[in-house]
Every structure is written in structure tokens, then in C-alpha cells.
Amino acid sequence: MTVKLILRNKEYEVKAEMALLDALKKCGIVPESVIATRAGELMTEDELLVDGEVIKLVAVISGG
Amino acid sequence: MKCKKCGERASINLRQHRMALCKDHFLEWIPEQTERFIKKYNMFTRDEKILVAVSGGKDSLALWDILTRLGYKADGLYLGLGIDGGINYSEESHRLTDEFAQKNGLKLHVVDVEKEYGYSIPILSEMSHRGFGKPCSVCGLTKRHEMNRIARDLGYDVLATGHNLDDEAAVLFGNTLQWAPDYLLRQGPVLPSAEGLARKVKPLCRFYEREMTAYSIARGIEYIYEECPFADGSTQVFYKESLNQLENVRPGTKLTFYLRFLEARQSGELFIERDSKQAHIHPCAKCGQPTSAPELCSFCRMFEKADAIRNG
């Protein structure tokens, strides 16, 4: 019952059925600094994570 | 979470506006708001020729996309900086910019700094000894100089950049920490044209960086995701991360920080403008662009120094 979160070259594993916001907090990721996508579609932080899925986190900060 | 406009599943939650939107309404909202900001700050009209500085990143490509969708006459300018960093950074960003222009039938001007001046940005940084071992200050100086040169040489009315609110808030934060009045007085959505200087505008200055990322993803814009190899550990990134920590706890902090600053600046409550004549702005003896330095501007002095080292 796990879900994989991928941010750049880092992978995090969290329990399924928790809200995305809670998962981000658990991984120490500031929600404001990422956009989460499920199968390429944008998702909001209240959505529940489904067992076995992979959530891609897109870093939003760019410098220069 | 439901879309505020249609009640369908929301794709993004804009906490600072207490509003969630579905993908379709978000993709409508961004250009609507951009149009509002363009008018509010008198940036440009539909009759004017706009040059968009495009880097291949999400913000500048999104800006070009939005202006085109809104029906503005906007051409692109890509500056080849010669940054590799083991990931072909400049080459890849050029490729993505070129692809975007071709796909949308847009005109793109390309200037390769190394071909034009004989040095890539990293080499120029080494030769000129500017920026404490990092090429960021050389890069910024060169970009500002070249964007202004091309905008004026090619007869554009206005130069538009993709700076978002996080960019602006980070600069403001840095200048506030140092109480740098000259820089604070210069910051704003529009830098009016002056003798030798093209008008510069930032139509995305009220959108969060997170929103521009979401817009690019939702529009299917392919942009360079890899960070500039020299941006790692930069002060600007540190300020952005710090502001995001505040935003996380108090949604709207970044927006309020920037907008209240603009209001205070405009009302003249915070700062007293110095007489511009005191700044002794005059044309550079070599390139003609305005400068406050004696004789040559910083850009031309940088090349004189690099040339002197190269020629022994």
C-alpha cells in the first residue's frame, strides 16, 4: 500500500490513501515549491493518493 | 477541491486568492489576468512591436505563448550564452526555444554571445574576474546589455521579460535586507524608456512561479527543466526558498510583500527620488548605451579587461 513521489532525481515512498499535502509534509517538501502531476495532469493537494501510483513533482523554482 | 467557476474537479489551488480552478478555467484566467496587468501598468498596446526575451525556461516561453494568444505582435530574442555544465544547457534551451517558435509560427532572433564578442559567459567571467568566481553577474550584465541593444537596433517599442512574482519578491527581499534605495526605486513592472534605453516590462510580475509552472504543464509547453548549472546555491534561489517557507504558513505573503511595496513606492511614502541629474548618466564612449561610470559602461569595461588578459 505505497505510493511513489518523484522530485528531480529523488524518490520518496509514502502510504496510500493519505492526502497529497500530508505526503509532501511527511517528505519534508514545501508544497509551495512544487506542482504535482498524476499521469501528466495537474492535481491539488487535497487529493488522496492511490496505492501503486507514481506522482511526479515538478520543482517550480528557477534561478538566474 | 472544486473549480470556483464551474464546480468541476480543480487542477490548481491558488491559495493567495482563495480560489481553485479546473484546467480549462485556469488556462483562461492566466491570459485574462495578464491582459489586466498590461493595461493597469500601461505596458504596451496592440499597435506596438514587442520583443520577448526567451531563455527556453517556463516563464519566458509561457509569456510568449500568452502574448500570442492575446493577439499581441510579439517576436522572440534568444541569447546563446555558451553554458554547458555537462548537460548542454545552452544548446538544449536554444533547441526548445527554436521548437516553440517553429511550432507556433513565431519569429525568433538569435544572438550568440561567443560569436558576437569572442567569449562564452563562463570564459568571460573567468577573464574579467567579475562575480566572485560565479558567472551570474557577468551573465546578467550581458543579457541586459544585449536585450537593450537588439530591442533598439531592430526598432522594437518594448522589451518584455518573463519575470514572475517570485523573481520580483526575491529581488525585493534582497534589496530590502540591504536597504539599497537606488535599486528599490528602480524596481517595478515597467521601466520606462530613456535616452538609449528601451522600455522594459514584466507582464507576469503578479503570477507566482508555481502558477507559471502549472500553466506551462497544462499548455503542454516543453521547456528546459534542468536548472542553470550555475544557479545551484545562488542567493536568489535561497531567497525564493525562504519566501516559500513564509508563504506556506501564511498564504499571500509574497503577493502582499510585492504589491504593498509597489503602492508605497508609487505614493512616495517610503523614498524620496533623487534628482536624476545627480546620477550623471551619459552615453558610454564605446557602445553609446547609458552609464553612470566615467567613460566606458560596465559591459565595455568587462570586455576591455578580458581582451587585455587574452592579448597579454
Whole-number Å distance between alpha carbons of B114 and B103: 27
Angle between the N-to-C axes of helices B253-267 and B235-249, in degrees from 0 to 180, rounded to the nearest 10: 110
> Helices marked H in chain B — which ranges?
23-40, 58-69, 89-104, 113-117, 121-128, 136-153, 165-177, 181-186, 209-219, 235-249, 253-267, 298-310
Distances (CA, A) of B160 to B30, B34, B53, B280: 17, 12, 6, 27
Region of B170 on the Ramachandran plot (φ > 0 left; ψ -120 to 50 alpha; else beta):
alpha
What are the grid coordinates assigned to B161, written together? 521579460
Tell me, yes or no, if A45 comes closer than 8 A to chain B by beta carbon: yes
Q: Are A46 and A21 in contact (CB under 8 A)?
A: yes
- pTM above the 0.90 mark? yes
CA distance A1 to chain B (A): 24
Contact A41 B11 (CB under 8 A): yes
- Cell representation of residue B228: 542553470
Cβ of A42 within 8 Å of Cβ of B23? The answer is: yes
Q: How many CB pairs under 8 A join A and B?
A: 76
Is the ipTM higher than 0.90? The answer is yes
CB-based burial label for B37 (10 Å; 0-12, 13-18, 19+): middle
Give the gap in angstroms from C-alpha A3 to the nearest C-alpha of chain B: 20
Q: Do residues A5 and A14 make contact, with C-beta atoms less than 8 angstroms apart? A: yes
Residues B65 and B34 sit within 8 Å (Cβ to Cβ):
no
What number of other Cβ atoms are within 10 A of residue B173's Cβ? Answer: 21
Tell whether A1 lies on the interface with B, counting CB pairs under 8 A. Answer: no
CA distance A13 to chain B (A): 22
Q: Which residues of A touch B163 (CB under 8 A)?
A: none
Q: Are B236 and A42 in contact (CB < 8 Å)?
A: no
Type of residue numbered A25 = K
What does each of the 312 residues of chain B score in pLDDT, given as a tens digit?
A: 999 999 999 999 999 999 999 999 999 999 999 999 999 999 999 999 999 999 999 999 999 999 999 999 999 999 999 999 889 999 999 999 999 999 999 999 999 999 999 999 999 999 988 877 789 999 999 999 999 999 999 999 999 999 999 999 999 999 999 999 888 988 999 999 999 999 999 999 999 999 999 999 999 999 999 988 888 888 999 999 999 999 999 999 999 999 999 999 888 877 666 565 556 789 999 999 999 888 999 999 999 999 999 998
Q: What angle, rounded to 10 degrees, do the helices at B235-249 and B165-177 form?
A: 100
Residue B6 and residue B10: Cα distance in Å, rounded?
A: 9
Scan residues 15-44 of A and list those with Cβ closer than 8 Å to B: 30-35, 37, 40-44
Asked if B237 and A61 come within 8 Å (Cβ–Cβ), the reply is: yes
* H or E stretch at B199: strand B199-201
Best residue of A6, A27, A32 to probe chain B, by most B CBs closer than 10 Å = A32
- Of B61, B210, B228, which to mutate for an interface test with A (greatest number of A Cβ within 10 Å)? B210
Closest partner CB to A30 (pick from B10, B237, B245)? B245
CB–CB contact B231 A43 (8 Å) = no
